[in-house]
Structure 1
Amino acid sequence: MMNLKEIFEKSDEDRLVLPDFQREFEWNKDAQKRLLSSFFVSIPIGSLLILEGKKDDFLSKKLCFAGETIEPTEECLYLLDGQQRVSSLRSTFYDFFQDKHNWLNIWEKMYSGLRNRWFLKIKPDNEEEDVFGWRMLNFKGLKYCEPSDLINCFEHRYIYKRKSTDWYHPGYKLYDKEGKELEGSRLKNKLAREAAKMGLVPLYSIYGSIKTTDKQLHTYVLEKIAKERVEELQAEVEDGKIDVFEIFQEIEPDIEEYIENNEIEKIRDAWSRLSAKWSESVNKFLVGLFEQEIPTIDLPSDQISRAIAIFENINKGGTPLDTFDLIVAKAARTKGERSLSQRISDYLEEEIDLSEALTNDLVDKVPDKWDSTLVMTIDENKITKTIKNQYLNLLSLFSHVPYGEVDKLKLEYIKRAKIFELTHEQINTNTNITLKALTRACAFLQIRCGLIDIKSLSYDLMILPIAYILKNDDVYEDKRALARIEYWYWSSLFSGAYRERQNEQCIKDIKNLFEWIKGGENKFKIRYENILNDIGYSDKTVLLRKDQEHNIPKAIHNGILQYILSKQPVDFLPNAQEKLRLNAWEIGGKKIIEIDGNKQTISVEDHHICPLGTVTKIGETSKKLRNDKKHILNSILNRTYISSIANAKISDKSPERYMKYVMDSAQWGHYLPIKMKEIFEEKGKSLEQKYEAILENRYNMLKRAIKEELDRLEDM
């Protein structure tokens, strides 16, 4: 066993190192968040495999740093398994950028996935759980919390190489009135003020508080947050919004007597103690994390072969049981029932009737039967993970709250604890209605929203509002109701409504969508103005690759392609006697079509509208550009779905012939600028300027088309 403090100290001393053959750091931010969530609530994060050795046994690397060998201590510990976990924890709690004069050198050597500063979001939003007791300044620890309770409490800020205008950036500078740069406690005090405004407690300064008696930045921030909250609570008490005894019942039970006797000094002291106790208790908890022990498997250096066998067993052993497996096991308690997983698979493979309301707006080739395997709910004879997870969430909602009583729906019902509470009777009784709703939602997503594969759904939880509503047969047959569901879907996706706190947003949307369909207010209208206009997520600068800080989210990339496909666009097939419309359900079903006398399976490719090959005139290759994700031609605005058949047929066209052909196809659902060829042939402009003009034109067309679509759906 080693506690976190010992691990960090051994790394500081170059005693705990990585052997040079270790893989690179690979974890994304979500994986790091999940680790932090488990670590904060003392759930085991797995054992570390450590080989005791000498410095000459292997070339060595320092934790968190790429491609740089170091010389460890004579007697050293090689970390064979656990690099991702230990590196994530170290980059969270250790301030690699504390040297303001050398931070850039450190930045250059670190893995890009670790160039962050992590924060604890201490102030909960309106519907979030107050896990750190901020609302009443009463923190009781996290003994009864689950990792899912904390997942939204962690935020990171990437440290960019050149941008130093943010307060958390190591290159950020502040000056006093005389123009002298602030340092030490004066600087920390100023930075703490900015952090407190955002309710963000720096985690990267916590290890520093163990190494020195100097007050660290996170302590300043906690104190300022507590002070501000005290002022807010005092105002709420004066306004009669909260009972003062409710605040002080544990820390100062005589507070009402002090107020009654107007004992100003004692009242002031009570508020001060409240503030101090909360900030000290949270601070003590954070520092105490370093005493948390992590199991280790320690091997002497002469057992390297044994170490490899253990490593393989850890990483290639049996898959641990997940929530779905445990629910399947619990359902088996009902005698006479077939396996739950088999029943689910059978149901997903059955054809369902598509309502006329669902297919009413389709252009010819209207299916009347459909099964969910067309959207890959079953892949290689296994239920897709997305379906498993949303089956559990929906099953829990239907089991815990009678359908339609949406005011009783709570976030906790889609958490593991409530799912585990389900009895075998509830599971078996409600499975069929859950699957009916879930299957209808999948049909809706493919027929109305252009989804080919359930795994390409931008946000898995967006299935739940659709499925919950479509449990009702009358709604499933109601054209107006389905129009409102589609309005909700596109407005939510393109406005960025699900980019954060998806669990809470999902429950809130079920309530609001249900009420709107029942004749209430359209509470999604507020998302209308943010469609393809959410700053840093879906706005024009992001989509045109002008925003260097933000990549185009996969959700927006997929969403735009799926929106285009939902319009059943005509394929880019040159000289075809009959136009081929691209339909998501035919692509998902791998329909066989006949082209030029040959039968072929229809599939689609994510096609560059302005070909990458055209830029070879300015000295670049298609391969090079394809790998440059920041190049404007790799923007989603330069992409659409066309069939692999069409792609093969037009790939050898010259740029001029290709542009003419694309222009002729523009009217058939791909939202391509009508004057695309003219823009491309315009004199006096560089290729980059022409591309930007074409893609900006397409951005405007898409944005206008989506909004016009929503107007139509709302008015139905």
Structure 2
Amino acid sequence: MIEKNGSDFKEIVREIENENILLPDFQREFKWKDEDMQKDIVCSVLSRMPIGSILLLKSKASEYACKKIGSKLDAEVSDSNKEISFLLDGQQRLTVLANVFSNVIFEQTNKLSDLISQQGLKRRFFLRIPKWTNIKNENDLFGIQNFSFSIQNPDSEDPNFLTGDIKPYIECIGFTANDGKPYNPNVCLSTDLDTFCLSNDNGYLIPLFLLCPTGDNANLIGDRFEIIVEDVAKKIKDEITLAYKSLKNNEEEKLFLKLFFDDSKVKKIIDDSSILNVELDSKCRSWGRNLKLYLNTCISQARLNQILVTETNRSRAIDIYENLNKGGISLSTFDLIMAKVGKESTQNFYKRLVSNIKAPKQYNLSVLPDKMLNIVSNYINNKGYNASVYIGAYNEDRNEISPKYTEAFLNVASLCANNKNFDFNQAKNDHMKRDCILNLDSAYINNECEKICIALDRAFFFFQTRCGIRAINEINYSLMLTLVATVFMNNEWFNDKKVHDLLESWYWCSVFSGEFDRDQNPQTIKCLKQITNYLFGKNPNLKWLDDLRDSVLNANNFSDKDLLLMEKTEYDRIPKAPLRHFICQYFLSKTYTDMFDENIVISVFSDVSKKLEAHHIVPLGSQKKVGENTEKLRGDDTNICNSPLNFVYITKDSNTTISSDSLPDYARKITNQSKSDLKIPSEFSASNLEEYIKADKNDNERSDFVKKFLSNRFDALQGDIKSHAKSLIM
């Protein structure tokens, strides 16, 4: 069930005070620290503008670890069955609003260091009311000049000013823990605050933090607010009275009095000056009363829309969040799971994952191919090696775990929780869907956390040593990570070279046949069943893999030869971008000598690995017309030179070295060893290119020249992949 309603902000503050609204422990930082940003939302409230939505999830207190709003402190709810509104979206705005218009955040923290952000929350906001003597130099939003507040019915009447108009009248004043200032929350509320508010040189200050009284001193806070507004009104009256007394004649007095009264009252006051004090007293009370009423109405009718979602609609809550925050930080299934697991352990779950990712790892190198064994051994000995760190599962600078990692973590947890003893014959697509994952037992995730992290690290080890993957985002089909990690939850399988061989064969056959190009969920479940049944000996037949191998570079409209040679562009069919990387990664997995230096071996673990760039073997310049820009060709997906067959990884330095070479000179630099390693046909030679240039080919002939070369490379590549995939399972 989902409820939508407006809100009385004072009621929301009371809910925060009573710890009925809490923040699940999502590791979300408080980011609205900028004073100007905070002023903007204050202006929206005080000009009666909408201020957005908050998304609340109703659930039992026992469901999620949580914190108090605005605080680092964990909330401890005595009744675990109590229904709580967990704040999923709106943390930033609700924290700011609660801090600006009440004391509730400070009352719930033992000391200022407990605040979620000292920089952003050690502030007090005031509404500055200009002095009457200065009003001609300012925008008179509050009816100071004629001492008449223009809004008489704030329940139904909006102001005639906008947020930008009121912003100059919002004062923000910081404080430190022990500065003794009368507005400091650590200082007892007293008339010292009144004195401070009335003695400001630029006007009178209304403390906005008194608008929502909370705590044991709620009545005192309310009284203080009333008195300060009334005293501001009296100060304005005193300014007007003093100005009137300084006038020199009746004409000046009449003009002056017409600012405040109609002609009949002006005449009475001129005839009897004692009436002025009575009339100004009346205006004073009216102005103060209307200002208080307006400010209270701004708060009680703050246009903050509440969306309340029940526990049974948790997955829908995430969709709502994502729709509210298009382009922003996305609430994920992992966020909710992380808050659930927080109830099982005092150790912060996010930090626990980071610790697991960074922890030293042990690898059984006997599972590696011979060519990779020495490379990885040297890397481990010289630099230490952690597959998760190397692949970028965690970004240290941003303190951010890759979303691909957390997605795979939850998928593996759900698959294993719902299919005990690695028997995945009953596995379902739903086991990797949000509803199923959100219902996982938090104790299971807590207990299996380290095992799942180890399984993911093993999967990264596999992808780096077998599949030419350098970074986590290069795993194009993310559910392949889930599948491999799920298999490697089994220690015996991880330590068996034949299992690695099987998975590698499956991987290359899958990516080059388009097996995972659509419907990843059902494909993952199907492949998981086939692989684990084979490993358990339940189905020793690998015909399914043989069939998959037959489709390598032969899947219609995905990897068939005509498509890769750009023969289908007239039907608006062009190769998909991942194929380019699959081809480059295939060669990287097998290692090869640098195209231009036989002394450099290119692999995932080479020093230049992270700087490798996808390079056109046949340069774009070979297809360039007179006056045409290569950048234009680079963006033309139908150009034959942009076929996936025309790419290989080379170093940035190598790319720079050959950038100005003529075609024949470029071809001469390509080493024979790299031609063999990279399946570069012998037709791509300096002599052929010299003839090609001399012949001054037309557009079609230039394209045909490249197609002939790429056709030969296709044949060699297809044969090599199929042969390699077959040899792995023999």
Q: Normalization by structure 2: what TM-score?
A: 0.51
Alpha carbons of 1:672 and 1:302: their partners in 2 closer, same or farther (altered >3 Å)? Answer: farther
In structure 2, which of residues 318, 324, 331 is the aligned counterpart of residue 321 of structure 1? 331
User: CA separation in 2, counterparts of 1:614 and 1:320?
Assistant: 45
Query: C-alpha separation between the residues in 2 aligned to 1:529 and 1:301?
Result: 74
CA distance in 2, matches of 1:681, 1:317: 51
Q: Is the 8 A contact 2:594 2:602 kept in 1?
A: yes
Instruction: Describe the shift of the 1:342–1:611 C-alpha distance in structure 2 as closer, same or farther (beyond 3 A).
Output: same
Specify the alignment match of 1:702 in structure 2: 717
- The answer to whether the Cα contact below 8 Å between 1:484 and 1:517 also exists between their aligned partners in 2 is no
Cα pair 1:679 1:694 within 8 Å, conserved: no
Is residue 2:365 matched to residue 1:342? no
Aligned to 2:438: 420
Q: Give the Cα–Cα distance (whole angstroms) in 2 for the partners of residues 357 and 656 of structure 1.
A: 44
Q: Quick one: higher RCO (CA 8 Å, sep 6+), 1 or 2?
A: 2
State the shift of 1:675 in Å. Answer: 2.9
Partner secondary structure for residue 407 of structure 1: coil
Counterparts in 2 of 1:302 and 1:524: CA distance versus 1, 3 Å:
farther
Compared CA separation, residues 304 and 551, structure 1 to 2 (3 A)? farther
Q: How does 1:84-123 map to 2 (within 5 A)?
A: none
Structure 1 residues 605 and 318, CA, compared in 2 at 3 Å: closer, same or farther? closer
Report the counterpart of residue 370 of structure 1 in structure 2.
386
CA deviation vs aligned residue, 1:219-275 (integer Å, no higher than 9, x gap): xxxxxxxxxxxxxxxxxxxxxxxxxxxxxxxxxxxxxxxxxxxxxxxxxxxxxxxxx
Q: Check conservation: 1:433, 1:471, Cα contact below 8 A.
A: yes
Q: 2:639 aligns with which of 631, 636, 640?
A: 631
Q: Which amino acid aligns with 1:544?
A: L
Distance 1:321 1:314, change over 3 A: closer
What is the aligned partner in structure 1 of residue 94 from structure 2? none
CA distance 1:665–1:682, change in 2 (3 Å):
farther
The aligned counterpart of 2:660 is: 652
The 1:536/1:302 distance shift into structure 2, 3 A limit, reads farther
Match of 1:521 among 533, 541, 544: 541
1:295 aligned residue? none
The equivalent position to 2:420 in structure 1, one of 384, 402, 408, is 402
Other-structure match for 2:556: 535
- 1:645-681 per-position Cα deviation (integer Å, ceiling 9, x unaligned): 2112222222111112226353452221133115545
Deviation of 1:416 after TM superposition, in Å, equals 1.0
Q: How does 1:225-240 map to 2 (within 5 A)?
A: none
Q: 2: CA distance between counterparts of 1:303 and 1:373?
A: 51
CA distance in 2, matches of 1:663, 1:569: 11
- Give the equivalent residue in structure 2 for 1:503: 521
Amino acid corresponding to residue 376 of structure 1 in structure 2: G
Given candidates 561, 565, 570, the residue that maps to 2:588 is 565
Residue 688 of structure 1 pairs with residue 713 of structure 2: no
Matched residue SS, 1:534: coil
Distance 1:632 1:345, change over 3 A: same
Q: Residues of 2 paired with 1:383 and 1:415: CA distance?
A: 21
Aligned residue type for 2:726: D
Q: CA deviation at 1:400?
A: 2.1
Query: For residues 164 and 665 of structure 2, what CA distance do their matches in structure 1 show?
Result: 63
1:486 maps to what in 2? 504
> 8 Å contact 1:679–1:690 — kept in the other structure?
no
> Is 1:460 aligned with 2:475?
no
CA shift at 1:697, angstroms? Answer: 1.0
Counterpart of 2:91? Answer: none
Is 1:673–2:708 an aligned residue pair? Answer: no
Deviations 1:540-598 (A, max 9, x none): 12211222222221232221111111111212344xxx611122134xxxx4x7xxxxx
Indicate conservation of the 8 Å contact 1:569/1:670, yes or no.
yes
AA aligned to 1:372 is S
Distance across 2 between alignment mates of 1:636 and 1:673: 16
| Segment of structure 1 superposing worse, 637-646 or 366-375 | 366-375
Alpha-carbon separation, structure 2, partners of 1:690 and 1:304: 66
1:326 alignment partner AA: L
Give the equivalent residue in structure 2 for 1:359.
368
Conserved 8 A contact 2:387-2:458:
no
CA distance in 1, matches of 2:573, 2:471: 26
Rounded to whole Å, the distance in 2 between the matches of 1:317 and 1:488 is 36
Return the alpha-carbon distance in structure 2 between the equivalents of residues 646 and 571 of structure 1: 9
Pairing 1:542-557 to 2, within 5 Å after superposition: 542-548=563-569, 549-557=572-580
Whichever of the two has the greater Rg, that structure is: 2
In structure 1, the partner of 2:201 is none
Whole-Å separation in 1 of the counterparts to 2:517 and 2:460: 21
Within 5 Å, give how 1:67-86 maps onto structure 2.
none
Structure 1 residues 334 and 639 mapped into 2: Cα distance closer, same or farther (>3 Å)? same
Matches within 5 A, 1:30-49: none
Asked whether the 8 Å contact 1:358–1:447 carries over to 2, the reply is no
The letter for the 2-side match of 1:630 is T
Q: Whole-Å Cα distance in 1 between the matches of residues 684 and 562 of structure 2?
A: 20
Aligned CA distance change for structure 1 residues 680 and 327 (closer, same or farther; 3 Å): same
Shift of 1:429: 0.8
Asked whether the equivalents of residues 596 and 669 of structure 2 are also in contact (C-alpha less than 8 Å), the reply is: no
Equivalent residues in 2 for 1:92-491, closer than 5 Å: 319-336=329-346, 338-363=347-372, 364-367=374-377, 368=380, 369-379=385-395, 380-491=398-509
Tell me what 1:131 maps to.
Answer: none
Moved more, 668-677 or 626-635: 668-677
| 1:585 equivalent in alignment to 2:605 | yes
Distance 2:504 2:634 in 1: 34
CA distance in 2, matches of 1:454, 1:551: 26
CA distance 1:320–1:470, shift in 2 (3 Å): closer
Q: Partner letter of residue 710 of structure 1?
A: A
Q: Give secondary structure in 2 for the equivalent of 1:366.
A: helix
Q: Is the 8 A contact 1:351 1:371 kept in 2?
A: no
- In structure 1, distance between residues paired with 2:164 and 2:564: 51
Q: Residue type of the partner of 1:581? A: V
Structure 2 distance, partners of 1:505, 1:305, is: 55
Stretches of 4+ aligned residues off by more than 4 angstroms: 299-306, 313-318, 681-685
The one-letter code sitting in structure 1 at the alignment partner of 2:601 is R
Deviations 1:386-438 (A, max 9, x none): 11111110011122221321212222211111111112211101111111111
Per-residue CA deviations over 1:352-409 (Å, capped at 9, x if unaligned) read: 2222233233254233543311111113321101111111100111222213212122
Counterparts in 2 of 1:709 and 1:703: CA distance versus 1, 3 Å: same
CA distance in 1, matches of 2:567, 2:329: 43
Shift of 1:342: 1.2
Q: Any conservation in 2 of the 1:606–1:642 contact (CA below 8 Å)?
A: yes
Secondary structure class of the residue paired with 2:456: helix
Partners of 2:723 and 2:582 in 1: CA distance: 17
Match of 1:249 in 2: none
Contact 1:612/1:626 (CA < 8 Å) preserved in 2? yes
Change (3 A) 1:527 1:305: farther
Amino acid across the alignment from 2:723: E
Alpha-carbon distance in structure 1 between the residues aligned to 2:337 and 2:677: 44
Structure 2: 5+ residue stretches without partners: 1-51, 53-157, 166-302, 305-322
CA distance in 2, matches of 1:442, 1:479: 16
CA distance in 2, matches of 1:315, 1:602: 33
Structure 1 residues 620 and 422: alpha-carbon distance in aligned structure 2, compared to 1, 3 A threshold: same
Aligned residues: 399
